[in-house]
Structure 1
Amino acid sequence: MAAKRIAMRKIREVLRLRFNAGLSIRQISASTKISAGSIQNILKLAEQQGLSWPLPDDLDDQALALTLYPSSDARPSAKFQQPVWPEIHQELKRKGVTKQLLWEEYTQQYPNRCYSYSQFCARYADWLKRQKRSMRQSHRAGEKLFIDYAGPTVPIVCASSGEIRQASIFVAVLGASNYTFAEATWSQGLPDWLGSHVRAFEFFGGCPALLVPDNLKSGVNKACRYEPELNPAYQQLAAHYDVAVLPARPYKPKDKAKAEVGVQLVERWILAKLRHQTFFSLAELNHCIRALLTELNEKPFKQWPGNRREWFERLDRPALSPLPKHAYQYVAIKTAKVAIDYHVQYDQHLYSVPHHCVGEHVEIQAGERLIEVYFQHQRIASHVRKHHPGTTTEPAHMPEKHAKHQQWTPGRLMNWAQSLGPEVLLWVKTQLGRKQHPEQAYRVCLGLLNLQRSFPAERLNRACAIANREGLYRLKNIKAILLSNRDRLADTSPLQTALLPQDHENIRGPDSFH
């Protein structure tokens, strides 16, 4: 029974301290917290068994205890009933199930052989650690910036209408120092996503080598474990700041553990403190966030000396790359096909490109003030952006005698229109005459003439007659007439009412009122 009273690993320690270190019994007792009588008994039994230091390699703790105490039970105590940890682990995945609930069920099942709640949680944590080994990530100074959005949103009340909008919280954390940036934006859309990156770089005063975002749609078009497809505008921002982007793998939160912890800290130390306040503008909310963010970055670490700001100044700031001369400005990117009239459309406005690109797919980059068109990574056109419907044509883009363009001419369009009816011809002539250059009307004329694929020529001619009479010169007007069957009505012209006779016995004239 002595082997149960004395931990098996302490028997080995007593022998080491006596035979190897040469300590006295009192010194061994002070070190191991074992009574002097028990130590003397262990040394006496060891001498009887002929044991010396070092012990044989094949003599483990259990075998050592049995050598000294042959009649004792050296097996681990079975006083407590071990929970079935795999079942506990699976139950915790269910919504609403907690460790507290499972512990209560465990105590009801084994009332006299159960662990306390703290032991239950500690032993479950130990079991969980043994199931899967995880490599602890080390981050070099200035290397990685982890990026994510917080889960909770913050309501903002419109002072004039009372409407409530929810603001998203952007969070960025540097890997080495844990220095944190946070701000509120109206959405998680692409303009806000990229704008938050720009402001984060300015907050840090430099650029990291690598961005590690979550697989948000604004940043990653197609999430993939091995080759994620980045949004073109996000790639453009990365090129502008000379940084690389490495999105976290889908369903692998440990890839961005720093962001997860940063989001948790922002939720606890910033959003939780602001939960009772009412905000009436985004600027007001960001002002409060910035003040609390300073407190968060200056809060001392629990297990390390210093705080985030001190570590940032010592580690990350010297290693960050300098910011470019000009900040990145958001540019929307869209792919379009050049129409027969050598124009591309963006936001209901038409912009010309060189005529030899007719039929090609080009990339439109739309900034706040400028529209640029690229073909095979070469800029082929640039226009001042217009925010209203219309057409912008550069004379240099117009063809003189080009094969692609010459397949359509005003004469060919009018011949086709005449074959459908005189009213169609009149409508096409009007369109060609309304534009500064006839080529600019080719698109809408072709759209009208191609309607014969869906409607008979007679109906198309009657619809054009209504449009000509009422001055309707947009293609959607013709389509509306045809779809509503208005062209099938007998006569839509104003009725001419017959004049009533002015001389009648029941009609009194001015002479009757003297």
Structure 2
Amino acid sequence: MSKEKEILHRFFKGESQRSIAAVLRVSRNTVAKVVKACHEHPLDAAALDGMDLAALHHHLFPAEADLPGQVQPDYEFIHKELLKSGVTLKLLWEEYAADCRQANKLYFMYSQFCKRYRDFVDHHHLTMHIHHKPAERLMVDWAGTTLKLYNPETGAVTKAYLFVATLPFSMYCYAEACRDMKEHSWIQAHIHLMEFLGGSARLLVSDNLRTGIISHRKHEDPIANRSYQEFADHYGMALLPARVLAPKDKAAVEGSVGQVTTHIIAKLRNRKFFDLYEMNQAIQEELYRFNEAPFQKKDGSRSSIFHMEECPFLRPLPQCPYEYADWKKATVQLNYHITVDHQNYSVPYEYVRKRVDVRLTSHVVEIYTEGRRIANHKRIVGKRGQYSTVEEHMPKNHQLYSQWDGNRFRRWSEKCGEHVHTVIERLLASYRVEEQAYKGCLALLKLSDQYGIPRLNTACELALRQVPSPRYKLIQNILVTQQDIKIEQPAAHSQNAFVRGAAYYGGEYHGK
């Protein structure tokens, strides 16, 4: 139908049917059919110029006008359905054709269906919806232009970097100033972005910066930073970084960066900020005006399109916001502890000498191996070198030892006798740190199992005569050599012993 007029124009000029078919790239049968219809329903060149395509077709083929026409698709409904995730024009045409077949009605072929939809979109100025679906992509980037942050005491100037995010469907924007472009600032800005939007998108599109993407080689899947991947998983988003040296993959945020630079950074250029919070308050005020500003070539604003058309499609946020976590590597030491940030945390002793992954948040330390968590601790703050030890992580013999303290050793020694108690007291007092004496105390008291309590008490008495603060080795040696048994007893008096009387010492026989 679209080339009937061109065929007749060339035919009236005297061109052959074969050449007309070759030039217009239609079949010779089509050209012959149109020429035959022109002979059956005469038409001159002047009348041809004054007729549109529909009127010409009706004149040449009047019989077709009596046939039932194709069902007109509801393109307004089709346009709204296309906003849903996974819905395509091909799918909607198949549904439309199936409905027409079921009702025994004619329908447009796929090419005509698409052409008529494009005409509908152009007429209603809705081309933006063709390229982006609501809440499908969220694009993020750093602005190239920085802001100035002043030190209130010294007046020194430092840079503040602007994080920018855009939803390309509505072009709704978010901006936040950060002290640096490190991973922690990058993740924290994303967390605040989720709170600002009140939901998350399906895809998160970023640049290939090291704080987000570790590697993105051609023909290979991108490798994301572990914390960034964890953040995306927490909010149910898939990371889809732009191709290397392909800024058009995130054209929406690239354009927004330029606009934000003009509407926010430029407007704040003459203001002095001494605090990052104060700076972000000013940025939020300008950002609100930027999002509320009406579009120049279409109705509405970024804010109105976002709240009316895109917000309902955002994914709900999880119950708890993501807490930034730093990942580190550590080796389990022989004392079944790892050292992270100058603090020590226990690990099950079976993992001694193994390499583990450590996830650190501001409150919790989690330890993983091969993707499985094997320990978690409350994060230690303050003085370096502190220990967090879980008793179950210790070997059985160490668990027994860990249950003792100085008071328990004292109570045990009192049951063994006065001298044993004295030795234990002096042993505990002889060390600068009481815990250093526990091993010796335990070994000393265990001697009662082998030699009995009375012998141990006697051995401690002998040891105290030799040194003020005897040790385990001395007391053990006394028991082994049985010195406690060989103590001399007082000589017994015989009943038949001769005893000289008082007379012998100056008595009556003293002069004899």
**TM-score band, normalised by the shorter chain?**
0.5 to 0.7
- Structure 2 match to 1:217: 210
Structure 1 CA distance for aligned equivalents of residues 394 and 23 of structure 2 = 94
- Structure 2 match to 1:177: 170
Letter in 1 for 2:334: I
Structure 1 CA distance for aligned equivalents of residues 20 and 328 of structure 2 = 75
Letter in 2 for 1:341: N
Matches within 5 A, 1:323-362: 323-362=317-356
1:367-391 Cα deviation digits (max 9, x unpaired): 1122111222222222221233113
Residue 399 of structure 1 pairs with residue 395 of structure 2 = yes
CA distance 1:216–1:57, change in 2 (3 Å): same
- Structure 2 match to 1:203: 196
Letter in 2 for 1:302: Q
Does the 8 A contact of 1:142 with 1:315 survive in 2?
no
Does the 8 A contact of 1:348 with 1:389 survive in 2?
yes
1:193-244 Cα deviation digits (max 9, x unpaired): 1111111111111011110011111111223243111111111111211111
Of 140, 152, 158, 1:147 maps to 140
Shift of 1:314: 2.4
1:301-320 Cα deviation digits (max 9, x unpaired): 23222211111122220100
Shift of 1:432: 11
Structure 2 CA distance for aligned equivalents of residues 55 and 435 of structure 1 = 107
Does the 8 A contact of 1:355 with 1:398 survive in 2?
yes
- Structure 2 match to 1:389: 384
CA distance 1:263–1:364, change in 2 (3 Å): same
Matches within 5 A, 1:245-394: 245-387=239-381, 388-390=383-385, 391-394=387-390
Letter in 1 for 2:384: P
CA distance 1:58–1:396, change in 2 (3 Å): closer
1:10-65 Cα deviation digits (max 9, x unpaired): xxxxxx79x87xxxxxxxxxxxxxxxxxxxxxxxxx99x767999946679xxxxx
CA distance 1:247–1:435, change in 2 (3 Å): farther
Residue 239 of structure 1 pairs with residue 226 of structure 2 = no
CA distance 1:235–1:253, change in 2 (3 Å): same
Letter in 2 for 1:170: F
Shift of 1:437: 8.8
Structure 2 CA distance for aligned equivalents of residues 156 and 51 of structure 1 = 77
Structure 1 CA distance for aligned equivalents of residues 296 and 17 of structure 2 = 43
1:162-185 Cα deviation digits (max 9, x unpaired): 221111100110121111111101
Structure 1 CA distance for aligned equivalents of residues 301 and 295 of structure 2 = 5
Structure 2 CA distance for aligned equivalents of residues 222 and 342 of structure 1 = 34
Structure 1 CA distance for aligned equivalents of residues 432 and 246 of structure 2 = 59
Q: Secondary structure at the match of 2:131?
A: coil
- TM (normalized to structure 2)? 0.53
CA distance 1:248–1:436, change in 2 (3 Å): farther
CA distance 1:385–1:435, change in 2 (3 Å): farther
1:331-367 Cα deviation digits (max 9, x unpaired): 1111212122211111111111110011222111111
Structure 2 CA distance for aligned equivalents of residues 437 and 371 of structure 1 = 30
Aligned length: 299
Q: Secondary structure at the match of 2:187?
A: helix
Matches within 5 A, 1:391-470: 391-400=387-396
Moved more, 302-311 or 210-219: 302-311
Q: Secondary structure at the match of 2:396?
A: coil
Q: Secondary structure at the match of 1:389?
A: coil
Structure 1 CA distance for aligned equivalents of residues 438 and 241 of structure 2 = 49
Does the 8 A contact of 1:211 with 1:244 survive in 2?
yes
Q: Secondary structure at the match of 1:227?
A: coil
CA distance 1:295–1:373, change in 2 (3 Å): same
Q: Secondary structure at the match of 1:365?
A: strand
Letter in 2 for 1:396: E
Does the 8 A contact of 1:336 with 1:361 survive in 2?
yes
5+ residue gaps, structure 1: 1-15, 21-45, 61-135, 403-429, 439-514
Letter in 2 for 1:207: S
Of 157, 168, 186, 2:179 maps to 186
CA distance 1:194–1:437, change in 2 (3 Å): farther
1:80-112 Cα deviation digits (max 9, x unpaired): xxxxxxxxxxxxxxxxxxxxxxxxxxxxxxxxx
Percent of pairs with identical residues: 35
Matches within 5 A, 1:155-166: 155-166=148-159
- Structure 2 match to 1:230: 224
Letter in 1 for 2:217: C
Q: Secondary structure at the match of 1:142?
A: coil
1:459-496 Cα deviation digits (max 9, x unpaired): xxxxxxxxxxxxxxxxxxxxxxxxxxxxxxxxxxxxxx
Structure 1 CA distance for aligned equivalents of residues 259 and 185 of structure 2 = 22
1:440-477 Cα deviation digits (max 9, x unpaired): xxxxxxxxxxxxxxxxxxxxxxxxxxxxxxxxxxxxxx
Moved more, 245-254 or 50-59: 50-59
Structure 2 CA distance for aligned equivalents of residues 161 and 150 of structure 1 = 27
CA distance 1:326–1:261, change in 2 (3 Å): same
Structure 2 CA distance for aligned equivalents of residues 365 and 224 of structure 1 = 27
1:100-128 Cα deviation digits (max 9, x unpaired): xxxxxxxxxxxxxxxxxxxxxxxxxxxxx
Alignment RMSD, CA only? Answer: 3.3
Shift of 1:400: 3.1
- Structure 2 match to 1:425: none
Shift of 1:326: 1.0
Q: Secondary structure at the match of 1:301?
A: coil
5+ residue gaps, structure 2: 25-128, 399-430, 440-512
Structure 1 CA distance for aligned equivalents of residues 200 and 388 of structure 2 = 39
